[in-house]
């Protein structure tokens, strides 16, 4: 049992061409309400049953007006923390499908030190970010974030943001999406 309430066997795997196994290190890739996910300043209230980009209804929606807990009053989102078998300095690629009712920006990355600014549009897009995973030991007890996604929209307008399919894989490419329980 790892320190985050799931066993390694719970992580979903997919065999890449050539035999390499792709493991999604996110425990609840389609359930952002699960306790495994933490808040980034303010964890959004999610609506479930939203049409997802793979033809199902597993996407989740939040409104940016409900994520106003940061010092600047506009940031809010989700964070997942890493656990073994991830090691300090592993190269990790995180990805997520996202869209917004109006064009806006968000941040996707591993930590505050490893982020990409992404532009959300009304159509589903799979975004990715590759960075270096740092354990809390490697950063002097500061961080061991594996995945974070948050909005930071000035003026805090009411924009619906849909997200689906969070993934974190070791290596420099996002690979095929692998859902986890």
Across the chain, what does the average pLDDT equal? 81
**pLDDT-based confidence at 71, cuts 50/70/90?**
low
**What residue ranges define each of the domains in the chain, with the CATH number in brackets?**
18-170 (2.60.120.260)
Side-by-side strand order, sheet with 114-120: 38-40, 75-81, 145-152, 104-111, 114-120
Q: Which residue has the tokens 């425990």?
A: 27
Are 136 and 144 within 8 A, CB to CB? yes
Q: What is the pTM of this model?
A: 0.84
- Tell me: pLDDT of 87 over 50: yes
CB 72 within 8 A of CB 86: no
- Running DSSP on this structure, what letter comes out for residue 176? S
What percentage of the chain carries pLDDT values higher than 90?
44
Entry field: residues in the chain? 181
pLDDT, tens digit, for every residue of 119-167?
A: 999 999 999 999 988 876 555 545 677 888 888 777 668 899 999 999 9
Q: Which two tokens mark 117?
A: 């600014």
Distance CA 32, CA 148 (A): 11
Tell me phi and psi for residue 149, to 5 degrees: -140, 125
Confidence of residue 181 (pLDDT cuts 50, 70, 90): confident
> How is residue 115 written in tokens?
């982020």
Q: What pLDDT shows up at residue 114?
A: 84
């Amino acid at each position: 049992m790892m320190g985050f309430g799931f066993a390694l066997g719970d992580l979903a795997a997919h065999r890449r061409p050539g035999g390499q196994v792709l493991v999604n290190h996110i425990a609840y890739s389609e359930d952002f309400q699960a306790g495994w996910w933490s808040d980034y300043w303010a964890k959004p209230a999610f609506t479930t049953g939203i049409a997802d980009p793979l033809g199902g209804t597993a996407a989740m929606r939040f409104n940016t007006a409900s994520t106003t807990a940061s010092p600047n009053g506009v940031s809010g989102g989700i964070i997942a923390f890493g656990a073994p078998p991830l090691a300090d300095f592993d190269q990790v690629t995180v990805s997520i499908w996202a869209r917004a009712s109006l064009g806006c920006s968000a941040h996707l990355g591993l930590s505050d030190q490893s982020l990409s600014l992404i532009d959300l549009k009304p159509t589903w897009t799979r975004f990715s970010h590759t960075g270096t995973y740092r354990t809390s030991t490697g950063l002097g007890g500061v961080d061991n974030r594996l995945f974070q996604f948050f909005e930071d929209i000035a003026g805090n307008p009411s924009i619906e943001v849909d997200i689906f399919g969070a993934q974190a894989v070791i290596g420099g490419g996002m690979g095929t999406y692998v859902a986890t329980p």
